[in-house]
Each structure stands twice: as C-alpha cells, then as structure tokens.
Amino acid sequence: MIDFHAHIYPDSLAGGVIEKLAAAAGIDGVKPATDGTKVCTVKYFKDNNVDKYVILNIATREKQHKNVNDFAIALNGEPDIISFGSVYPTGDTFEPELIRLKQAGIKGIKLHPEYQDFEINDKRAFRVYDMCRELDLMISFHAGYDLAYMHRLNCPPDKAREVVKNFPHNTFIFAHFGGYMVFDGVLEYLAGEHCYIDTSFVSASEKAHIGVINKIIKKHGAEKFLFGSDTPWMHVKKSAEFIDMLDLTDGEKEMIFDTNAKRLLKL
C-alpha cells in the first residue's frame, strides 16, 4: 500500500503544530494517528503495512519555504518516504527553491490555498504552475473546505477545473476526493478532467458520501485516484475502510491503493 497524503513535522515543532491545528479545526480531544514526528510516523506506517508514503510539506509564509524545503529534502533521504516540498505561490522568491527541489530529487510540491491565502486561479500563482511544468514537478493541492477555514473556499471544483484546462501539461493532484465537503461540485466540474484525485480525510464514518463518490470515481476513472489518509489527522485503517465500502472491483482497489501511485511516482 502507498499513502499519497501524510504529514511529518520537525521534532521541535510537532507538538505545537498538532495542538494548534487540532484546536483551529475544532477537533480537540480527537487523538491524532501520530504525534507528528518522523520516528512516530515511520513506526505507525510500518505497523499499518504501508510500504511508501508521500509527506506533504507546506510553506505558509514566503520566508518559510527555504526551511520547509530543507526539511523536505532531508526527509526524502529516508528509505520509505517520498517528500514533497513547497513554495509560497504569490511571492517572488519561488524560482530558486523550485530549481533546488528538482536538483535534490524531489518529485513535487504541495500548495494549500487556505493556509497560503490565495485562490487556485490567482494569476500570480500561474508562474509557479508554469515553472513546475518546465521542471516536471507535480503539484498536490488541498481542495475543498478545510475544517480550520470553513469561512472560505479557495479551491472549489469549478476553479480547479479552470486551472486544469489552462495547464494541460501539468500533473495536478487534488486532495480529499477532489474537494472536501463539495463532492457534488467535484462530480459536476472536476471528474473526468486531466488530473489525479487523492482519497484523504474521508473515512468509513462518512457513509453519507458513498453515493456521490461512487459516481465521481465512475466518471473520473479509478486509474486516476490515489489512496491517501492525511495522517496524522486521519487513521490509515479508517481511510482504507472507506475505499473498501465503495463500488469497486478488486482490480480497481489495487490501482487506488498501490499501482496508480507507483506509476505516477515512477517507483
């Protein structure tokens, strides 16, 4: 199994990050899957039979992205970790960082429109999309609502489709089944477009979404889905249980859990 959506934080920051994000999302008292550190996360994935996992790092301020990418590059040296970097997409210092990531063997970047305060179709961010295409770096987007930012929606399905159509040669991955809590919009606008969708943060407890998500997968094609948990914010087993509840063949499940990611990541 390959998990395409997980997070690790520097040891010195992990405790504070977990506490701050949990409080902002209104999930106090919910025990995360890990404590956010590398040692705990590596053990957690090994115990849950996850062979490889993509760690998505996010630079929430422009002055952060060098340190964030230093951390991403260091993580990428671990045997089972595939680490993505990040840049601040509306800033002016992203070019050397993208080049540095590419030279270090990083395969992609993570952008979070809410955390980074930009609309996905903001033309300032187009410079980053263009350069990622030139460098063959894929881009993973947070998509849909974030529990800590329910007052705004910076990557809705219609704007995600606009970006996909404007950048047909990029490799985009939209998290949370294409748009957390806006699945009807994903079905209408994004399903069937030239992009990948990951399955993170939707668990077996959200049975109400099974019908529309089955339709999304049928329209989009199982070959363009990537299993993700959003560890530490969701447990691998709960995420996998949701996939098992869907109207999928064993072959389609194998694609989602493993072979699609292997093909995309050139493993």
How does the average pLDDT of the chain come out, rounded?
A: 94
| 143-157: pLDDT as tens digits | 999 887 788 999 999
Cα(113)–Cα(110) distance, integer angstroms: 10
Q: Is the pLDDT of residue 67 over 70?
A: yes
- Count of C-beta atoms within a 10 Å radius of residue 206: 16
Confidence at residue 111, expressed as pLDDT on a 0 to 100 scale: 98
Cα(231)–Cα(172) distance, integer angstroms: 21
pLDDT band at 29 (very low <50, low <70, confident <90, very high): very low
Mean pLDDT of the 200-218 span: 92
DSSP conformational letter for 64? G
Tokens at 138, concatenated: 């894929």
Mean pLDDT of the 13-30 span: 65
| 227-241: pLDDT as tens digits | 999 999 999 999 999
Q: Is the pLDDT of residue 23 over 80?
A: no
Largest CA distance in the chain: 46
Tokens at 36, concatenated: 């956010």
Cα(219)–Cα(181) distance, integer angstroms: 18
Non-local (6+) Cβ contacts of 229 within 8 A are 3, 5, 6, 33, 200, 201, 235, 236, 238, 239, 240
What global pTM score does this model have? 0.95
pLDDT band at 209 (very low <50, low <70, confident <90, very high): very high
Q: Is the pLDDT of residue 65 over 80?
A: yes
% of the chain exceeding 90 in pLDDT: 85
Tokens at 141, concatenated: 């987007």
Mean pLDDT of the 184-197 span: 98
Q: Write down all domains in the chain, each with its CATH number in brackets.
A: 2-265 (3.20.20.140)
% of the chain exceeding 70 in pLDDT: 96
Confidence at residue 162, expressed as pLDDT on a 0 to 100 scale: 98
